[in-house]
Amino acid sequence: MKFIHAADLHLDSPFEGLRQLPEPVWQLIYQAPFKATQQLVDQAIDQEVAFVLLAGDLFDRETQSVAAQLFLNEQLQRLIDAQIGVYLCFGNHDYQTANQAIDLPEGVHVFVSTVSTMTLTTRNQKRVAISGFSYPTRWLETDMAAQFPVRGDVDYHIGMLHGALRQSGTNHYAPFTLDELRETHYDYWALGHIHKPEVLQEQPPIVYAGTIQGRHKNEAGEHGYTLVRSQDTRLVPSFVPVNPVDWVTLAITVTDQQSETELIDLVFEQLSRLTDETTFKLVSLTLTNVEALPGQVVAQLNNGNWFDRLSQLQEDQYEANRCWIYETHSQPAATDIHYSQLDAEFWKAAQADVFTGDELTKAAGKKLLSYPFLADHLLASTTLEDTQERAENELLQQARLEADDHAD
C-alpha cells in the first residue's frame, strides 16, 4: 500500500513582499504553490497511491479567490477520477466556520471540528482508519490530541493533526506532546502546520510534511510531500521535493571592481554558477568588502541606483538564467577598518544605544506606531538590522569621501 501525506499548500498566498518585482516574475512565484500541488496530483496518479491526506492550510486565508477554489477542486476531482481517496482537514489559515463551507467535489472526505474517524479498504484488502479534525477558528488552544481514539481493529491507523508541539508559552495551535501521540499506538501521524519538513519520530512515523512550496527566505530548501509505503506491518515515509521555486543566498566578496558595470559582471558571473534546471532561484545577494570599491560605486550601492540598474538587466536575463535577485545587502569586510581607532570605539558604543526598538519607536513617533502593520515592521529585528547596515554604509562612504579629499 502507498499513500501521500501533504500539508500547508497555502494556495493563493499573496506574496505581498515581492509585489515590486516585474509582473511575470511575481506570477512565477505566485503560481509556484499551485504548480507544486499539480505535480503532487500527477505523481499520486502515476504512483497509483491508495489515498492522499491533506493536513490543513490548503488555502492561505479563510476566504479564497474563486480561481484558487476552482483549481483545488479540479485537482481533487482528478484524484477522485483515478479512484484515489482524498482526506483533508482545515487548519488555522483556512479554518471553516459553519456558514463558510466551500463546495468540494463529491467523494472528498472532510474532517469536521470534532475528532472523528473514517475507514477505508484498499484494493489489496487492507483496512485503514484515519482520525482527524478541522479548525473552526483561527486559534485552537484545546488539547485535541487527547481526543483521538486509541488504535482501532484495522491494519493501519493514521492520525491527521494540524498543530504544534506544546511549548511553555502560548499554545494557539492544537498543542500536543509526543507522548500523547505515542499513546494512541497509531501506525502513522500525518502532521501539518510546521512548514519545514521534519520527522519527529522514525517508527511509528510522526511526520511534518512541511509546506509544499517555501514562501520566503526563512523557508529555503527543498519542499514537497511525503510518500508513505507499507513494509509488512510498518509504514515507511520518504520525502519527495516538488517546489518549483527555491530561496537562496549568494555572498560575494568584492575585490578590485572599478565600476558599477564591473560589479554587475561579477554578480552575473557568480550567479550563473548558482543556477540549475531544477528550480527557479530567488536570490538574496550580500556583497562584502565593499570598502575595496571606489567611493562612487559605494554611493551607487547605498542610494539604490546600482540595484535599479541590476534589476533592469535582470529583466532580459531571468528567463534564461532561471533566477532573480530580489534584494541586496552590502557590508564592509570589517566594521571598523575605515574609522580611526577612536571613531570605531564611539561607533560601537553608540550603535548599542541607538539601534534599539525604543529608539526607533521614538524616531517614528506615536502616531505611526498606532498602525499595527507599521509597528510590526518598525520593531522587526530585520528592520533594525537594515537600518544599522545603511547607517554603517553611509558612515563608511563619508569616511571614504573625506579620505579622498585629504588625498587630493
**Footprint of Mn ion (CB under 5 A):** 8, 57
With H, G, I as helix, E, B as strand and everything else as coil, classify residue 367: helix
118 DSSP β-pair partners: 130
**Of 300, 298, 291, which Cα lies nearest the Cα of 338?**
291
Give whichever of 194 and 325 is closer to Mn ion, judged by the CB atom.
194
Q: Which is nearer to Mn ion, 57 or 260 (CB)?
A: 57
Q: Is 350 helix (H, G, I), strand (E, B) or coil?
A: helix
Work out how close the CB of 380 gets to Mn ion at its nearest, in angstroms, rounded to a whole number.
Answer: 20
91 vs 332 by CB, closer to Mn ion:
91
Output the nine-digit C-alpha cell for 40.
503532487
Residue with cell 482526506: 87
For Mn ion, the closer CB: 8 or 246: 8
Are 391 and 397 a contacting pair, CB within 8 Å? no
Minimum CB distance to Mn ion smaller for 34 or for 306: 34
User: Order of strands, edge to edge, in the sheet holding 234-241?
Assistant: 108-110, 85-89, 51-55, 2-6, 224-231, 234-241
Minimum CB distance to Mn ion, residue 54 (Å): 12
CA 318-8-203 angle, to 5 degrees, is 115
Question: Residue 270: is it exposed, middle or buried by C-beta count within 10 angstroms (0-12/13-18/19+)?
Answer: middle
- Smallest gap from residue 349 Cβ to Mn ion (A): 43
Min dist CB 10 to Mn ion, Å, is: 6
CB of 329 to Mn ion, least distance (A): 28
Q: Which is nearer to Mn ion, 173 or 306 (CB)?
A: 173
Which residue in the shown chain puts its C-beta closest to Mn ion? 57
Going by C-alpha positions, the residue among 196, 218, 222 that lies closest to residue 209 is 196
CB of 193 to Mn ion, least distance (A): 6
